[in-house]
Chain A
Amino acid sequence: MTQSVVVQVGQCGNQIGCCFWDLALREHAAVNQKGIYDEAISSFFRNVDTRVVGDGGSISKGKICSLKARAVLIDMEEGVVNEILQGPLRDVFDNKQLITDISGSGNNWAVGHKVFGSLYQEQILEKLRKSAEHCDCLQCFFIIHSMGGGTGSGLGTFLLKVLEDEFPEVYRFVTSVYPSGEDDVITSPYNSILAMKELNEHADCVLPIDNQSLFDIISKIDLMVNSGKLGTTVKPKSLVTSSAEALKKQHQKPFDGMNNIVANLLLNLTSSARFEGSLNMDLNEISMNLVPFPQLHYLVSSLTPLYTLADVNIPTRRLKPSLQFISWNQEGWKTSLCSVPPVGHSHSLLALANNTCVKPTFMELRERFMRLYKKKAHLHHYLQIEGMEESCFAEAVSSVSGLIEEYKQLDATLGTPVEDLPRLSVAV
């Protein structure tokens, strides 16, 4: 069984990370009734005897003593991390696995990447190495961050290069929250495009998350729940958007519902690797099957159900695709079956797709970038940072354009009749 380490960077990354750990604990509590530290739990948690001072406290089997998350928390301002450390999850985090600063990155990718990158490189390396040492067989780093700000975007992507150099055989799965059109951070297009170049080059798989879509999902659920449609009741534990505490209050922290969806996505993704099933799927299989060309590693995700009604009827037909597959991959399905459903659900389906539908999102992002860049608006904030030049911007947008071009070429094959290529003819 393998382990994964979660690296949460910036405000968004840490808030989503918090929801993730809360959900992970609830899931394992539901599955692991006897409190034994087993291989499934060990993928995300260490078992530690807290009475032992220093590093010697790890326990590999037997009863659960104290669970510590395999996580590194990074933020360049203290507010969010401090809140986590005072909240209900405080005992889950090892306070040696934190890196914080005071002033924040000012929504500036260059500050996050260049300034804090070089300032904290040694510390980051040290914490990552520590977390890797605690793993028997480390398979994957999950990086959670947003693209629009400064820390998550800049320092988060700086990390990717460090991980690639230091742990070349370990997969880098990045969950990136892309800014919506009405994002209130003016420089988010700059930050996003600069970050995208790094994602193109150093990530194995990216799960792009669109804030607007998450918001729409929440609204839809709220509507369903509040309208009391057809007299059905929503089972409280089954809301993908809720965390256990928030059920009691009507108004959760803003973004909590949205963050919970992402947390569900990440947990669901790793279920098959942690629990048994008749057709297992490991994380390395995701990369193998869904990434046909190295740069095209953006996977769109969808999750169902988002809430469970009191009575659910599952139709027993096999999925019939009405999707448009590319000509050389007409049956481009990879299926996996896991016996353990998420908390509160009897069944669940996660779909990951490598779909050219990401192209318009990237094109829009580039459009917003160009509107600012043509006017050189706010550029001085970036250029005054040591190591930043205009060429950085040019290279970044060129990288994104290259990606868009690759998707365009694949799209162009749609609708054109494709003949099978002539096969090899051999002498018998």
Chain B
Amino acid sequence: MSIVTVQLGQCGNQIGFEVFDALYNDSHCPQGLCSKRENEVYQESCKERFFSEEENGVPVARAVLVDMEPKVINQTLSKAAQSGQWKYGQHSCFCQKQGSGNNWAYGYSVHGPRHEEPIMNLIQKEVEKCDCLSGFFIIMSMAGGTGSGLGAFITQNLQDQYSNALKMNQIIWPYGTGEVIVQNYNSILTLSHLYRSSDALLVHENDAVHKICAKLMNIKQISFRDINQVLAHQLGSVFQPTYSMEGSYHYRRNPLGGFKDPELYTSWLAPVNAFSAWKTQRAFRKYEKSAALVSNSQFLLKPLDTIVGKAWNMFASKAYIHQYTKFGIEEEDFLDSFTLLEQVVASYCNV
């Protein structure tokens, strides 16, 4: 059951590298407290999902790297090769010379159609290497131009071409204090398009991860490398295998009954159905015990509401709109996005 990863833009590629590194290091960790057999089973399950075997034994990440300018991809490829432990495929990247200029419209309407064929071909090649495709993992940011715009376009294409495979998008929520001035526009356009074509959106907020680095890890001068590594660590533990060669109940679905607090659940789903747990004997990386939680809750309601509010205020003054209309994204497209997201906000509110 393999997963093909698509890394888009600077953020997607920088994080993608850290994720593969974390996954590789996890599966090659000393076995800790579990049995040797257990460890082998775990390693088998992990490797097959994210890496394919190369002739000289160096595992190759099942990934396609896409960026509209070459600097980041070059860095990512060389960092992986330097590690000596795993690498990216030689022909797994697609690169152009000039970036998307933080412009969602440029990423979606210009780069998308222009480069659709070569990018989808690369993904197809990666899919063909898999015995059994479980789905796609797409890593992108929302604030920029390539990850966000081209990411939305590619996800749509994946929906059309591989409608049976699951698509999970890892989206990076930008800092509230601003990294890119038009990040709110880019974000709402991304989210509204992904809502229609993606199966799941796994969200990481830069602000939240930053706080983890500052408060929990006491890092003094937090760099993007630190943030990306924390993120990759979290994703790695989320990606621990639930299936293995031994059978699908090897990592027992262990209904503990879930959390006791009724506030955590909706009225129309009993806790025993809302909560699923998987347990493995083999610990994640070097920890003795660890736990990872993924939840669908009202947690993101506030950030979503904030972004929609700010984008709406800016839209009302018509600022920066000419930068989008010149590449084919009209005011109606903005309004459609706003409408869809207001519905999402309202739905979460009603839960």
Contact = CB atoms under 8 A, between A and B. Distances in A.
Contact of A332 (B98, B102, B178): B178
A136 B317 CA distance: 39
Interface string A117-160: 00000000000000000001101000000000000000000000
A279 B313 contact: no
A285 B313 contact: no
B350 A428 contact: yes
Nearest to B180: A334
A331 interface: yes
Interface residues of A, number: 39
A276 B75 contact: yes
Contacts of A2: 69, 97-98
Nearest to B221: A316
A424 B71 contact: no
Nearest to B104: A288
Contacts of A428: 343, 346-347, 350
How many chain B residues sit at the interface, stated as a range, is 35 or more
A411 to B, nearest CB: 14
Given A278-B223, A331-B176, A421-B313, A284 B338 contact: no
B310 A330 contact: yes
A293 B322 contact: yes
Nearest to A281: B102
Interface in B302-351: 308-310, 312-314, 316-320, 322-323, 338-339, 342-343, 346-347, 350
A228 interface: no
Contacts of A289: 102, 180-182
Contacts of B70: 1, 39
Contacts, number: 116
B259 interface: no
A332 B314 CA distance: 11
A290 B98 CA distance: 19
B319 A328 contact: yes
A329 to B, nearest CB: 6
A288 B339 contact: no
Contact of B309 (A136, A137, A290, A423): A423
B309 A420 contact: yes
Interface string A327-350: 111111111010000000000000
A330 B339 CA distance: 23
Interface string B85-114: 000000000000111011100000000000
B17 to A, nearest CB: 12
Contact of A423 (B145, B181, B322, B342): B342
Interface in B125-157: 145
Given A284-B99, A421-B312, A333 B69 contact: no
Contacts of A102: none
Contact of B14 (A39, A278, A426): A278
A195 to B, nearest CB: 24
A292 interface: yes
Contacts of B232: none
A287 B101 contact: yes
Which of A136, A280, A329 has the most C-beta atoms of chain B within 10 angstroms of its own C-beta?
A329
Contacts of B343: 426, 428
B177 interface: yes
A426 B343 CA distance: 6
A425 interface: yes
B177 A288 contact: no
Contact of A328 (B98, B177, B316): B316
B10 interface: yes
B72 interface: yes
Nearest to A277: B71
A77 interface: no
B220 interface: yes
Contact of B339 (A278, A294, A333, A426): A426
Contact of A278 (B225, B308, B322, B350): B225
A139 B316 CA distance: 32
Nearest to A169: B98
Interface in B54-85: 69-72, 75
A282 interface: yes
Contacts of A306: none
B220 A1 contact: no
A425 B342 contact: yes
A282 B310 contact: no
A424 B319 contact: no
A285 B346 contact: no
A421 B220 CA distance: 40
A425 B308 CA distance: 13
Given A284-B99, A316-B221, A330-B310, 14 more contacts: A1-B69, A136-B97, A278-B224, A279-B10, A282-B69, A285-B101, A285-B180, A287-B323, A328-B314, A331-B177, A333-B181, A334-B181, A420-B312, A420-B313
Report, nearest first, the 3 A-B pairs whose CB atoms are least far apart: A284-B101, A331-B178, A292-B319
Interface of A: 1-2, 39, 136-137, 139, 276, 278-280, 282, 284-285, 287-294, 316, 327-335, 337, 420-421, 423-426, 428
